[in-house]
Amino acid sequence: MKKKILYILLMLFIGWQSISYGQQRFPKPEFESGYDYPEYQLTNPSSPIWEYIDVAVLIIVLILTTRFTLKTRSRKSILFVAAFSLAYFGFFREGCICSIGSIQNIALALFNDGYTIPLSVLLFFLIPILFTIGYGRQFCAGACPLGAIQELTAIYPVKLPKTIETILSTVPYIYLALSILFAATDSHFIICKYDPYVGIFRLNGPSTIMIFGILLLISGVFINRPYCRFLCPYGVILGWVSRFSGKHLSITPDNCTNCRLCETSCPYEAIIPADFLEVKEPMLKSRKKFMLYLILLPIITLGAAYFSLQFADNLALVNQKVRLANELRIEKEMGVKAISMDAVTFKESGSTLEQLYEEETQIIKRFEKGTPWAGGFLGLSLGIALLLTTINRKRDSYKPDQGKCYSCGRCFEYCPIHVEKLNIK
Amino acid sequence: MSEKNKYQNRRDFVKKMGTLAVALPIGFLGYKLVQQTSAQEFVWQIDPNLCTQCGQCETNCVLTVSAVKCMHAYEMCGYCDLCSGYLRQGVKELNTGAELQLCPTSAIKRNFIENPYFSYTIDEELCNGCGKCVKGCAAFGNGSLYLQIKHELCVNCNLCAIAQTCPADAIQRVPSSQPYLLKSGYKAKES
Amino acid sequence: MSLTEKNIKLLKALSYASAMFSLMVAITMIFSFLQLNFVRPLESPVLTELKKSYDANPQNADLKEQIRAIDLMARKAYFSSRWQIETGSYLLVFGALFFFISQRIITDNEKKQPSFLGSSPILGNKKEVRKYLFSASFIVIILAIVISFYLRNELPNPIAVEKEVLTEGVSKTIEITTPVPQKKIVQKESIPETVVAEPQIDESKSVAVKKVVVEEITKGENKTDDVNYPFFRGNNSQGKVSSGNYPTLWDGKAGKNILWKTEISIEGFNSPIIWGDKLFLTGADYNDAAIYCLDKKTGKMLWTASGKNVEGEPAQAPETSADTGLGAPTAATNGEEVVVIFATGNFLCFDMDGSQLWAKNIGVPDNHYGHSSSLIIHENKVLVQYDHHISKSIMAFNIKTGEMLWVTARTVALSWASPVLATFDGITQVILSSDPAVISYDVKTGEELWSVNCMSAEVGPSVGINSKYVFAANEFAKLVAIKPGKDAAIVWADNEYLPEVASPLATEECLFVATSYGAIACYASESGEILWNHDFDYGFYSSPILVGDKVYLTDQIGVTHIFKADKEFVLISEPPLGESVNTTPAFSEGKIYIRGEKYLYCIGE
């Protein structure tokens, strides 16, 4: 205790106007042997210039891919560009930041004033979309590292039964709606959390994601591009935009002769055949169905919005604060002790339960505002999809489905006109 | 033929409308967001004043070996013989024996300087970011040991997985121009 | 690129080999991963157990070697699994790369025959597509409902939450959670018989009656006794004495207002206690331990008893630091028995005339400063806070027989604070402060009533009590106000003025904190706002005592600072004792009893 009294007196001299959390217990030592404090080496994070180099590389890769898909029409070249993207954006830059994840940053920035989005992230979001407006899903073909790794390992294509495919292809819409909702309420970045291939790119990652990624990769050998078709939320946006793109990859370089040789070429079922083989629905029935679905559209949209509002409370549980408030409430009312790290730290911090409940209420209100939009969006997509089935267009040639086609160029070699042209060249 | 042309023109028109309908909101989005952008990039850092040394920095980082390491603010250290960040609570002897050490990987090295001062340095190869030494130093010492994210290891995820679960909300985005939140009284040479 | 048959065979073999290689690497990686995350070599329970037993027997060299060997093995296992995972992932990537490239080359080489899909169109019937869409959305809806039921916790409507919060605030003041005790409270120490002990509660006017009863009981606990001062910090252990006419001026050296002074042969930092006309003290050093009983009127030694020769006592007294000593815990009495405890673990009980009733040694407390938690009595139980390195617990013994009535283990660090009695919500509880929590135990059963994590470091001060809150503080930690009860929580916290040893004193309006560097601060009890602070020259180990409307606080050189217990600082007087004082004074019938380093002084007019 005597030593302590000495220190206390020393503190009185040295300066006991303590800052932040208290005085230093043991005073600064006075070294007589000439000991110098060691100089600490700190490494800076990678220079921000790299982000802009990434944007530049992205633009270059997109230009190259567009050239290869639309002009030179060479699948080999597309694959080489894809391999380069995989090596650069995937393994070298370790898959972050990617265009798919940028959706979350956009959502966070739009609805939270405190967050400034870095310019490079915004560009990563916009540039692929701009290219898609012009030329179709070039991003998916050659620039996206996830698309590249799937394309390069898609070796033995297997056809999926139609029911499963339709059911699974609703998942990207739900994924998109939920990721925007969670990012906008500042609760979670689920695209990043459940990105299966980032573990492979980093050669490191939480075990669940690594196992999921490897399994997905192996299944991708057979069910080609599983992430692109059944998970990718960015693909939903690119798909809509690509439907109205100015130019798009075409199967034949010239006019289509309806030779039907490309029918089995696309593992992604993205080729829309000409309609001469189709058993068409009678026009009247189509028109009737069209009117029906048109009337149903707002009903489905609003119904889905209302239905999803019921889940707002549960969805809010994704937020850390809401979970904590819930845990403490359960402890208070039912006596189940709150043992999580969050609860223990909260109790020691001295902030009141009332404050926490207030914050929780605010967050739940935000969820209640946002969830109907998410549900409404899903309802709208369903309604539009139904509506589209009633529109009969005259199709006199084989064309790729502009929403679904990844511009991978697999179908080129099946088209005799393309082969002929190349041989001549 | 003209029928077909008309049909084609109509389709083209619809298509062009569609392109516009799609391009406009994107353009508007871009415009709105550009006002909210910064040229700054952000990196993650732990605020040492908020950290409660819960131990999740070791387990929650997406990397197998966490990017969080213990750092030592030498200017704040008391250089004590009985270092509460190096020795376990309640030990009777003061030496470098394994049975006395708090650090599970023996990452803190103790060196005699002069009487009665000992220096404590951290071998970052061995440190796994568990925070036991930080807890001991904060409770009974000067608090010169603290956990911090090392940028040569951190992959700078879009949303730091540890920040997601930090009970004290201590992990924040900082601009990459000032990438380290250090404890005061700390001399550092940036490389 | 056309390949010959041989090349294809070679490639096929290579891809097969690389697939096998990748598989093996993957399996070893999984094992390393499992070891790292599930077996957790660094936290092996064997090592923890060994370390615990080493702490208990630091002389054991074999144990030391064993721990070192196992620790080395554990660290090796940890680092080797880490290394395996890191290198394994590189190997895996290269194996996979090889495999995929070779497979691609093989398949690219095979010429594919285009085929027609048959006459059935690719796109399928529109009707079918619609059917699929509907079934897909149906499945999604069902899944959403199922998942939500799985996740469903009772998340209230936000509006309902607000209402709940509001009503809570309103009903707080008259909330009574336990029924009013029916049996008569027979207490010898403090509670006067005005307590309504047998309420026939008429249910129709139950609320009003209950309110009155509760107030009486809480007031009753805090009602002070003018004659008896049976515990450390007074008869309610909260540091409050009723106003009597206590002197405010004296001079120890000059003898002014000093009625008598008696030399106490063996030193000790325990404070004097009083019952009736008898004053009790203990003293202990490395040679001897004794209990002293003096006549409070004359200062004559009535009897002394030995605190040694107890069965089970250690051959040599444990080492303590100089300013704690072996006799730090204050004794306790209830007018029929007096109980004492020493840092050797000797625990004795005497009657008022000095005959030993029982004595036992409850284990040598392993405490690097020295055991200092004082004793306290409630009804027929004497409560012992026994926190030391090997075990931490609170125990209750039958004061008449010494038999242990209950013991509750505590998961806390060492504490030097003393237990304080208080009644909240009609339950008499004993409140202990230590790192990391302030915990309250039911005096009848020892059951933990509530606990709040708020403390840290080496806790010396005991808690301060007023009718609403419990105040705990410690230097290098913080000062907190806790609202006690089932949902005990921190009401406010501060860290500007923190006591090292002196326990804080709480009135309804003010909280007084005395630091060991001489500063005294007065906080507002409700809000935690600092009302005033004053710096004196010497630090305080003695705890402040409320005497009527004044606070008596003695510093380490013996000067008692008397000031008003008010929101403004009004210093009344500073009478010196002339000797250093580390104990807390006792107050009885207008006289103040201060134990200095050598002498016990009686101050009166």
The DSSP line for A177-194 is HHHHHHHHTTS--HHHHT
Quote the tokens at residue C541: 């180990």
- Range(s) of the domain holding residue C107: 5-154
Say if residue C182's pLDDT is above 90.
no
**B74 CA to chain A: closest CA distance, Å?**
6
What average pLDDT does this structure show over A124-137? 92
Say if residue C119's pLDDT is above 70.
no
Residue of C nearest to B125 (CA): C79
Say if residue C122's pLDDT is above 60.
no
Q: What is the pLDDT of residue A3?
A: 56
- For residues C263 and C145, membership in a common domain is answered with no
Say if residue C193's pLDDT is above 80.
no
| Whole-angstrom distance, CA of residue B68 vs CA of residue A42 | 13
Q: Do C79 and B105 touch (CB under 8 A)?
A: yes
- For residues C288 and C355, membership in a common domain is answered with yes
Cβ neighbours of C43 in B, within 8 Å: 104
What average pLDDT does this structure show over A377-395? 86
**pLDDT single digits (tens) A51-84:** 889 999 999 999 999 999 998 988 999 999 999 9
Cβ neighbours of C139 in A, within 8 Å: 167
Task: Residue A270: name the closest of A366, A137, A74 by CA.
Answer: A137
C322 and chain A in contact, CB less than 8 A: yes
Say if residue C161's pLDDT is above 80.
no
Could you tell me what percent of chain C has a pLDDT over 90? 4
pLDDT-based confidence at residue B126 (cuts at 50, 70, 90): very high
Whole-number average pLDDT of chain C? 79
- CB distance B114 to A31 below 8 Å: yes
Q: Which of residues 491-510 of C touch A (CB under 8 A)?
A: 491-493, 495
What average pLDDT does this structure show over C291-314? 87
pLDDT-based confidence at residue A5 (cuts at 50, 70, 90): low
With respect to residue C555, please indicate whether it lies within any of the assigned structural domains.
Answer: yes
Residue of C nearest to B103 (CA): C42
Whole-number average pLDDT of chain B? 85
Rg of chain A in Å (alpha carbons): 28
- For residues C222 and C332, membership in a common domain is answered with yes
- For residues C134 and C198, membership in a common domain is answered with no
**B88 CA to chain C: closest CA distance, Å?**
10
Say if residue C389's pLDDT is above 90.
no
**pLDDT single digits (tens) A164-178:** 888 888 899 999 999
- Residue C524 has a CB neighbour count (10 Å cut-off) of 15
Say if residue C358's pLDDT is above 80.
yes
Q: Do B99 and C51 touch (CB under 8 A)?
A: yes
Residue of C nearest to A398 (CA): C122
Cβ neighbours of C121 in A, within 8 Å: 273, 277-279
Q: What is the pLDDT of residue A183?
A: 92
Q: What is the pLDDT of residue C195?
A: 33
Say if residue C158's pLDDT is above 70.
no
- For residues C141 and C241, membership in a common domain is answered with no
Q: What is the pLDDT of residue C172?
A: 31
pTM score, whole prediction: 0.66
- For residues C425 and C569, membership in a common domain is answered with yes
Could you tell me what percent of chain A has a pLDDT over 70? 94
pLDDT-based confidence at residue A46 (cuts at 50, 70, 90): confident
- CB distance A62 to A136 below 8 Å: no
pLDDT-based confidence at residue C124 (cuts at 50, 70, 90): low
**C447 CA to chain A: closest CA distance, Å?**
15
With respect to residue C183, please indicate whether it lies within any of the assigned structural domains.
Answer: no
| ipTM (interface predicted TM) | 0.83
Lowest mean pLDDT among A5-9, A53-57, C99-103: A5-9
Q: Do A311 and C93 touch (CB under 8 A)?
A: no
First-last CA distance in chain C: 117
Q: What is the pLDDT of residue C3?
A: 63
Residue C561 one-letter amino acid: H
Residue C152: HSE in the Cβ half-sphere, 13 Å Cα cutoff: 9
Q: What is the pLDDT of residue C118?
A: 56
Q: What is the pLDDT of residue A217?
A: 92
Q: Is A139 helix (H, G, I), strand (E, B) or coil?
A: helix
With respect to residue C526, please indicate whether it lies within any of the assigned structural domains.
Answer: yes
Place of tokens 């539009």: A384
Q: Which of C154, C177, C200 finishes a domain?
A: C154
With respect to residue C180, please indicate whether it lies within any of the assigned structural domains.
Answer: no
What average pLDDT does this structure show over C364-371? 81
- CB distance C359 to C349 below 8 Å: yes
With respect to residue C447, please indicate whether it lies within any of the assigned structural domains.
Answer: yes
What average pLDDT does this structure show over A26-36? 80
C170 and chain A in contact, CB less than 8 A: no
- Residue C180 has a CB neighbour count (10 Å cut-off) of 18
Q: C192: part of which helix (H) or strand (E)? A: none
The number of distinct structural domains making up chain C is 2
Say if residue A216's pLDDT is above 90.
yes
- For residues C374 and C461, membership in a common domain is answered with yes
Return the partners of chain A (3 or more C-beta pairs < 8 Å): B, C
- For residues C86 and C220, membership in a common domain is answered with no
Q: What is the pLDDT of residue C225?
A: 67
**pLDDT single digits (tens) C440-482:** 998 888 888 888 888 888 888 999 988 889 999 988 788 889 9
With respect to residue C167, please indicate whether it lies within any of the assigned structural domains.
Answer: no
The enclosing domain of C214 has a CATH number of 2.130.10.10
Say if residue C210's pLDDT is above 60.
no
CB pairs under 8 A between A and B: 176
Tell me phi and psi for residue B58, to 5 degrees.
-75, -40
Lowest mean pLDDT among B33-37, B107-111, B155-159, C418-422: B33-37
Tell me phi and psi for residue C470, to 5 degrees.
-115, 130
- For residues C476 and C521, membership in a common domain is answered with yes
What average pLDDT does this structure show over A337-355? 80
**B54 CA to chain C: closest CA distance, Å?**
14
Q: Which of A230-239, A272-281, C125-134, C231-240 has the highest mean pLDDT?
A: A230-239
Say if residue A376's pLDDT is above 90.
yes
Higher pLDDT, C183 or A379: A379
Contacts for A308 with CB less than 8 Å, ≥ 6 apart:
A371, A372, A374, A375, A376, A378, C144
Could you tell me what percent of chain B has a pLDDT over 70? 94
Q: A162: part of which helix (H) or strand (E)? A: helix A162-168
Q: Which of A301-315, B85-99, B172-186 has the highest mean pLDDT?
A: A301-315
With respect to residue C368, please indicate whether it lies within any of the assigned structural domains.
Answer: yes
- For residues C127 and C252, membership in a common domain is answered with no
Q: What is the pLDDT of residue B44?
A: 93
- For residues C134 and C208, membership in a common domain is answered with no
With respect to residue C356, please indicate whether it lies within any of the assigned structural domains.
Answer: yes
Residue C299 one-letter amino acid: G
pLDDT-based confidence at residue C365 (cuts at 50, 70, 90): confident
Query: What is the per-residue DSSP string for A83-119?
Result: HHHIIIIIIISTT-S-HHHHHHHHHHHHH-TT-PEEH
B1 and chain A in contact, CB less than 8 A: no
Could you tell me what percent of chain A has a pLDDT over 90? 36
Whole-number average pLDDT of chain A? 85
Q: What is the pLDDT of residue A346?
A: 84
Least CB-CB distance to B105: which of C51, C75, C457? C75
Q: What is the pLDDT of residue B187?
A: 43
- For residues C120 and C192, membership in a common domain is answered with no
| Whole-angstrom distance, CA of residue A257 vs CA of residue A259 | 5
Could you tell me what percent of chain C has a pLDDT over 70? 84
- Residue B7 has a CB neighbour count (10 Å cut-off) of 12
**pLDDT single digits (tens) A166-211:** 888 889 999 999 999 999 998 889 998 889 998 888 887 787 888 8
Q: What is the pLDDT of residue A60?
A: 96
Chain-centre distance for alpha carbon A85:
17
Say if residue A95's pLDDT is above 90.
no
Residue of C nearest to A383 (CA): C133
